[in-house]
Amino acid sequence: MAEEEELKHEHHEQDLPLVLLLGLDPSSLQKFFPKLFSKFRFVSPYELPDKSMDQFLINHAQSIKVLICEGGGEAVSINSEVLNCLPSLECIVSVSAGVDHIDLTESKRRGIVVTNAGTVFSEDVADYAIVLLLDVWRKISASDRYLRSGLWPIQGEYSLGHKVGGKRVGIIGLGSIGSEVAKRLQAFGCSIAYNSRKKKESVSFPYFSNATDLATNSDVLILCCALTDETYHIINKDVLSALGKEGVVINIGRGALIDEKELVRCLVQGEIGGAGLDVFENEPNVPKELFELDNVVMTPHSAVLTPESFSALHELTIANLEAFFSNKPLLSPVNYE
């Protein structure tokens, strides 16, 4: 009887749709996305660590039609070399909002559809951007360190922070996350302006066609855009200079949106007022010069890390895979335009 049940289980597993995992440890994925493993069968290079990526794909993934991957600092790049090893691939499901780890031009040329996390992270990431901004301006983390170090009774009151209400906020990238940031900051009484690929007719905020002009007219810049060839180092020396000595930069997008060396120089030399950074150009490596600066708040790429967002991502990932294998419309396709 036990043998029959085991055979049934094996046959059931073999009947499940096959999905390739790249850049994701199956054991970690199973921990956070358990239901996936009851609906799909997975193959991963983690199973054969002695083989190169190309060898594994050539030997074990020639018939694969769909893969799951994630973005971030240590993501596997889904480039033309990887795609050459996957001749049957039709769909890439990214479990991150950003898709800068995927060659979208090559994917489009090959007729491969791409999905991402859609809007499931938008509210949590927007909350995080506000928290970083509040922390930098009100000096919450810095004053916490001051208190814990025993300096309050010795040196007296900590230095003044800045009021949030009434400040001029420039948002770079007024998509789903940027719009949520704007909504939250309007409640503080801030004035909002933005830079985006093009002017959005549906919003009344002032639009600036380049980041330098936006910086000139802002007290803080909040980066919410995707990382593309056009937005790489969109925050450069000229933009930081335009932002000025009291200006603040908040980045919850991708690290390479900022010329990190120039940002470090400006912060160390006091040419801008502060920064709140959840992402970095060479993650997980962070410039050590920033560690001693009280006007810089840093976190380890954790803006999306809530149980609620992971649960929503779990359901979205399953829904996208089920839609693909059922020849139905995908729920969060990436727009190639």
133 and 107 inside one domain: no
Active-site positions read 254, 283, 301
101 and 137 inside one domain: no
Whether residue 17 is contained in a domain is answered as: yes
Helix (H) or strand (E) holding 123: helix 122-138
The domain spanning residue 215 has which CATH number?
3.40.50.720
277 and 217 inside one domain: yes
Whether residue 280 is contained in a domain is answered as: yes
Are the C-beta atoms of residues 96 and 117 closer than 8 Å to each other?
yes
Whether residue 332 is contained in a domain is answered as: no
Residue 153: asked if its preceding bond is cis (omega within 30°), the reply is: no
Q: Is the dihedral of CA 270, 276, 279, 283 positive or negative?
A: positive
Whether residue 311 is contained in a domain is answered as: yes
217 and 320 inside one domain: no
As given in the structure block, the two tokens for residue 72 are 């971030």
Whether residue 31 is contained in a domain is answered as: yes
207 and 277 inside one domain: yes
The pLDDT of residue 247 is: 98
Which residues of the chain, if any, have pLDDT below 70? 1-14, 73-74, 337
**CA 61/CA 182 separation, integer angstroms:** 44
167 and 72 inside one domain: no
Number of domains in the chain: 2
Whether residue 262 is contained in a domain is answered as: yes
27 and 172 inside one domain: no
Whether residue 294 is contained in a domain is answered as: yes
Whether residue 337 is contained in a domain is answered as: no
The pLDDT of residue 337 is: 65
219 and 268 inside one domain: yes
- What domain range is 59 assigned to? 1-116+306-326
Least Cα distance to 280 among 264, 292, 267, 293 occurs for: 264
The pLDDT of residue 3 is: 56
71 and 141 inside one domain: no
Residue 28 to residues 21, 23, 32, 43: CA-CA distances in angstroms?
12, 11, 7, 14
The pLDDT of residue 31 is: 86
88 and 155 inside one domain: no
The pLDDT of residue 2 is: 53
Q: What is the reported pTM?
A: 0.92
**CA 320/CA 329 separation, integer angstroms:** 8
111 and 146 inside one domain: no
112 and 215 inside one domain: no
